[in-house]
């Protein structure tokens, strides 16, 4: 089966930033959005299935055009159902560019186990390995290992459910000052409801991340410590069977004893998607 989408939109960002480089502009800007993806799913037999996918996204800023970003993602997934547990493995190759120039390359491999433990509870656990390289910043090239755990409580089936999760990550960089371990906690609430006889979706989420760096950062003469808080809201309203309208917003507060990584950010946007 083949599926995909095309999307266009507009976004307002109060503080244009490059998170991977710990840089923020402290100035807002607006940008045009474009996204597209294509996925092919195949059932090998009654218990085993696989998929391959490609997605593309881009934001073009009006003033900070040198920070306009495009991202390519190639993915593959294989899963097998061993009732009541499903085992799977996924791989993603991610390449990001800034203003058309090579910026980030990332490989992600993740085996996982998931399944229902009761009628309303679904659990998923995964190991994650990642390898990243940042152009012209060899000290930030890194490998990371981590684990993910998610629990879903289906309050009213897919119409209303809650997701809580935990992510642990240990990153080993070429330059020791960028080595860190982190813990991230999240909670998401999803509510679906009828609007003009079509099922709309409202999603609220909160995330907290704590990063503990293992070596002193020369510019501040001590080990870096980060705490990150994020809140997002998204509303999706189907316009027709194939067109969706989305509204979203988010607020992030990044605390750090490294001044360049200490900032807050507010993002609002809207987009229209065509699904096929």
pLDDT digit string (tens) for 90-146? 999 999 999 999 999 999 999 999 999 999 999 999 999 999 999 999 999 999 999
Domain ranges of the chain: 2-275
**Cα separation, 152 vs 165, whole angstroms:** 9
Q: Which of 4-13, 192-201, 223-232 has the lowest mean pLDDT?
A: 192-201
Is the confidence at residue 55, as pLDDT, over 90? yes
Give the CATH H-level superfamily of domain 2-275.
monomeric porin ompg (2.40.160.40)
Is the confidence at residue 149, as pLDDT, over 90? yes
pTM of the model: 0.92
Which burial class, exposed, middle or buried, applies to 83 when counting CB atoms under 10 A from its CB (0-12, 13-18, 19+)? exposed
pLDDT digit string (tens) for 234-255? 999 999 999 999 999 999 999 9
Q: Which of 25-29, 31-35, 173-177, 178-182 has the lowest mean pLDDT?
A: 25-29
Write the Ramachandran bin of 221: left for phi over 0, alpha for psi from -120 to 50, otherwise beta: left
Cβ atoms within 10 Å of 119's Cβ, excluding its own? 8
């Amino acid at each position: 089966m083949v599926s995909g989408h095309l999307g266009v939109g507009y976004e307002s960002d109060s503080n244009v930033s490059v998170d991977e480089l710990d840089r923020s502009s402290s100035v807002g800007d607006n940008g045009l959005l474009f996204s597209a993806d294509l996925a092919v799913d195949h059932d090998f037999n009654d218990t085993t299935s696989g998929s391959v996918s490609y997605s593309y996204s881009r934001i073009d800023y009006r003033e900070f055009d040198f920070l306009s970003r495009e991202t390519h993602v190639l993915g593959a997934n294989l899963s097998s159902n061993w009732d009541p547990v499903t085992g799977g493995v996924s791989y993603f190759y991610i390449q990001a560019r800034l203003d058309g120039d090579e910026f980030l390359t990332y490989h992600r491999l993740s085996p996982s186990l998931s399944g229902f433990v009761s009628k309303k509870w679904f659990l998923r656990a995964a190991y994650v390995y990642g390898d990243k390289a940042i152009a012209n910043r060899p000290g930030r090239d890194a490998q990371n290992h981590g684990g993910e755990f998610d629990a879903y409580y289906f309050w009213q089936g897919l119409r209303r459910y809650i997701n809580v999760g935990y992510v642990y990550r240990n990153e080993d960089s070429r330059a020791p000052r960028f080595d860190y371990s982190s813990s991230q906690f999240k909670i998401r609430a999803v509510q679906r409801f009828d609007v003009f006889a079509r099922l709309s979706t409202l999603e609220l989420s909160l995330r907290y991340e704590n990063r503990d760096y293992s070596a002193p950062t020369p510019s501040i003469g001590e080990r870096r410590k980060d705490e990150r808080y994020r809140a997002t809201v998204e509303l999706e309203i189907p316009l027709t069977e194939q067109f969706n309208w989305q509204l979203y917003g988010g607020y992030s507060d990044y605390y750090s004893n490294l001044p360049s990584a200490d900032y807050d950010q507010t993002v609002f946007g809207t987009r229209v998607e065509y699904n096929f």
